[in-house]
């Protein structure tokens, strides 16, 4: 039995009951109670689905309560905020266009694209996952079709836009090398010769992006989620871009920037900005400079609101020595210690354990490198209102 067993009849009934009564950590009690009236296998599938829906709220919001999931499908699915951003970009450039999603998974991107007014077709090689994607479009009353098949064997000519999300897992482990994607990178580069969008891991090397293709690094609530490669009619003429969600702020220019001594404020660029190699855009935004030309920290004498970075007020410079830092923690009564680092070989968790913070105080310790020297700064996090 699979997800399709829950779409109607007793399966639909037990799913409704399982979702209504579901509580994390009490799955066994729920299974035992439901098995008194329903088939045991059906109950197991329904309770598993209730658990997946509970977890899926973080990615899909209220839609998760009506959707269907597989464990791998949920793990690999794009969260709605990111999918909506991508679909809106396609719809703005090519309104009402037809989009084929190669490797559509459970259909998260199909949902976003259909809601943006695009005509969607999904292709998925795993029949169960394809059935799940089909069920999700139906559950959310959205148009579209899903076919079982291999991405490499799909005829692409009928479609205006090709979207692909290559698998980045092998034997249950995450794959970081783009040359190990499935379908292979050679297939991806062929797609990018058309009008296409390809979702890739944020660690994609800049030099792996083909000429004439834009790489857009996307973060959501400060967490880098992915890079999207845009080609053909979706290419905007810029090689690299960083987009920050939910604000939608986007930056694509990297002006020249000097480096210089620390000032009253240190700015930590958003991860998407760092991945895109656009740190100097932060320096321009705050009228500041880099602490070191090879390190992604910016400093400035004034506090300037910017959505591109987090800000920290420098309290004092500290010797980068464990004994001195431990004395500082003890003297200041610091119990909550945030440790941030760039360009130095240190494990923040291990260092925090060695410094043994204890007390009512709160502080941020920024450790970085300027030239060949490691430096440490006691800081206060500042909330920026853009």
What average pLDDT does the segment 334-363 reach?
94
DSSP 156: -
Name the residue ranges covered by the structural domains of the chain.
3-69, 75-245, 265-382
Cβ atoms of residues 79 and 225 within 8 Å: yes
Tell me the pairing of strands 223-231 and 334-342: unpaired
pLDDT value, residue 2: 78
Cβ atoms of residues 156 and 162 within 8 Å: yes
Closest CA to 76 of 172, 152, 211, 157: 172
Which uninterrupted H or E stretch holds 300? strand 298-300
Q: What is the pLDDT of residues 216-255, one digit of tens each?
A: 999 999 999 999 999 999 999 999 999 999 999 999 998 9
Q: What is the pLDDT of residues 145-186, one digit of tens each?
A: 999 999 999 999 999 999 999 976 655 566 666 877 788 899
pLDDT value, residue 386: 52
**pTM: predicted TM-score of the whole model, two decimal places:** 0.91
Reported confidence tier of residue 385, pLDDT bands at 50, 70, 90: low
Domain 75-245 falls under CATH 3.40.190.10:
no
pLDDT value, residue 167: 77
DSSP string covering 237-299: S-SEEEEEETTTEEE-------B----SEEEEE-HHHHHTT-HHHHHHHHT-EESSTTSS-EE
- Name the maximum alpha-carbon separation found in the chain: 72
Q: Residue for token digits 């980068």?
A: 320
Cβ atoms of residues 148 and 158 within 8 Å: no
φ and ψ at 311, to 5 degrees? -120, 145
Interaxial angle between packed helices 108-115 and 80-93, expressed in degrees from 0 to 180 and rounded to the nearest 10: 40
In Å, how far from its chain's centre is CA 356? 33
Half-sphere exposure (Cβ direction) of 62: Cα atoms closer than 13 Å:
1
Q: How many whole angstroms separate alpha carbon 351 and alpha carbon 290?
A: 25
pLDDT value, residue 170: 56
Q: How many whole angstroms separate alpha carbon 276 and alpha carbon 215?
A: 8
Closest CA to 113 of 74, 145, 139: 145
Half-sphere exposure (Cβ direction) of 142: Cα atoms closer than 13 Å:
29
């Amino acid at each position: 039995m699979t997800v399709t067993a829950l779409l109607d009849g007793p399966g639909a009934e037990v799913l409704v009951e399982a979702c209504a009564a579901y509580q994390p950590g009490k799955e066994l009690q729920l299974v035992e109670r439901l098995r008194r009236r329903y088939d045991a296998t059906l109950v197991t599938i329904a309770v598993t689905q209730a658990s997946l829906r509970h977890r899926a709220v973080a990615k899909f919001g209220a839609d998760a309560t009506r959707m269907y999931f597989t464990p791998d499908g949920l793990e690999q699915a794009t969260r709605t905020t990111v999918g909506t951003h991508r679909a809106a970009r396609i719809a703005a450039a090519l309104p009402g266009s037809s989009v084929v999603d190669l490797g559509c998974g459970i259909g998260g991107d199909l949902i976003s694209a259909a809601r943006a007014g695009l005509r969607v077709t999904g292709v998925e090689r795993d029949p169960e996952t394809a059935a799940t994607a089909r069920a999700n479009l139906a559950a959310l009353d959205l148009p579209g079709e899903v076919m079982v098949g291999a991405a490499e064997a799909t005829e692409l000519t009928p479609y205006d836009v090709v979207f692909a999300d290559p698998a980045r897992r092998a034997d249950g482990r995450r794959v970081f090398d783009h040359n190990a994607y499935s379908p292979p990178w050679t297939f991806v580069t062929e797609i990018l010769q058309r009008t296409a969008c390809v979702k890739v891991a944020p660690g994609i090397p800049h030099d792996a992006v083909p000429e004439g293709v834009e790489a857009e690094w996307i973060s959501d609530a400060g967490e880098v989620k992915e890079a999207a490669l845009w080609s053909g009619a979706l290419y905007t003429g810029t090689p690299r871009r960083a987009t920050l969600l939910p604000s939608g702020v986007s930056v694509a220019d990297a002006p020249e920037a000097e480096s210089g001594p620390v000032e009253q404020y240190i700015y930590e660029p958003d991860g998407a900005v760092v991945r895109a190699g656009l740190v100097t855009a932060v320096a321009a935004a705050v009228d500041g400079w880099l602490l070191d030309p090879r390190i992604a920290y910016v400093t400035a004498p004034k506090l300037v609101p910017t959505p591109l970075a987090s800000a920290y007020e420098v309290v004092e410079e500290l010797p980068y020595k464990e004994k001195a830092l431990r004395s500082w923690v003890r003297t200041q009564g610091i119990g909550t210690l945030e440790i941030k680092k760039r360009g130095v070989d240190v494990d923040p968790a291990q260092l925090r354990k060695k410094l043994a913070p204890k007390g009512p105080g709160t502080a941020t310790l920024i450790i970085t490198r300027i030239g060949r020297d490691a430096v440490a700064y006691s800081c206060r996090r500042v909330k920026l209102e853009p």
